[in-house]
Amino acid sequence: MDFDSSAGGVPSPILPDGRLLALPIPDAASTIRYADISFDGAPLSRLVEPLTRGKITAEHGAHIDPDLIPEMLPRAPGWRPLFGQSGQAQGHLRNHGVGPGDLFLFFGLFRRVEPHAGGWRWVPGSRPRHVIWGWLQVASVLPVDQARGDHHAWAHYHPHFQRQDDPNNVLYLARPQLALPELDEPLPGVGAFSHVAPERQLTAPQATRVSQWRLPRWCYPEHGRTPLSYHANRQRWRQHTDHTELDAVARGQEFVLDGDEYPEALPWAAALMQGGRPV
């Protein structure tokens, strides 16, 4: 999960050099503190505290999920990138048959920041936007209750191990390498885009709301194709000559698109990842 106006209080930062940093949301049950997470050789709290005006401190628990970047925490032997999901959100993924071989694209709300008075602040007048910041192709789906033994001790730091009595509590483990027929070169099965780029921005350039998305033309649900999940209302969609507009729902963690119904999706995703720089 990423920071946004409802889950963390603020967007995630776009740094002055264009780098993206997806911030984990606060989680009082997590054993990981913002002070424990490293970014640029310093605790993540050095960014979080000024950007939240002290609302989130170094000692607050952080829900680092998805956990994609090895350098952000000390890692136990055998560590693999992973993504946890539970409750209604996992029920939605299960009902849509999400599993091995499927591809997650992670997006969040981002806004530009700049140094200020020894800390950081939001660039005055800058506008937040939804941006795709990472990916994970699923190797396997592991129920958390089946992973509490020594064989998966490397994963026990993850915040989803603090949750009890939830049959929908699972981990999605990443493939070592992407398995997409459209790729021209080998790429990791998980990664984060290091910099912001127009082709990975979802919010339309001139939008008045961050949920006004500009998508490829092929995303339009025509000819009986199933729309992106949570977006069955056709009034949310507008097709143009060279793109599609979507009024995205205000709150929703996982939107599922059926790659069999939209064969254009995988070549599009492959082009995004080949054009980006995995971290």
Query: What percent of the chain has pLDDT above 70?
Result: 95
Average pLDDT, the chain: 92
Q: Residue 2: inside a domain, yes or no?
A: no
Report how far residue 89's alpha carbon sits from residue 228's, in angstroms, rounded to the nearest whole number. 15
Q: Give the per-residue pLDDT at 1.
A: 44
Q: Residue 5: inside a domain, yes or no?
A: no
Q: Residue 3: inside a domain, yes or no?
A: no
The model carries a pTM of 0.93
Cβ pair 138, 98 in contact under 8 A: yes
Beta strand 12-14 pairing with 103-116? parallel
Of 157, 180, 170, 206, nearest to 269 by C-alpha is 180
Q: Residue 248: inside a domain, yes or no?
A: yes
Cβ pair 32, 61 in contact under 8 A: yes
Number of structural domains the chain divides into = 1
Q: Residue 31: inside a domain, yes or no?
A: yes
Q: Residue 182: inside a domain, yes or no?
A: yes
DSSP 270: H
Locate 177 and state its tokens. Answer: 């390498």
Q: Residue 235: inside a domain, yes or no?
A: yes
> Hey, CA dihedral for 104, 105, 109, 111, is it positive or negative?
positive
| Confidence category of residue 8, pLDDT binned at 50, 70, 90 | low
- Quote the domain boundaries for residue 111: 12-275
Q: Residue 264: inside a domain, yes or no?
A: yes
Q: Which residue has the higher pLDDT, 257 or 274?
A: 257
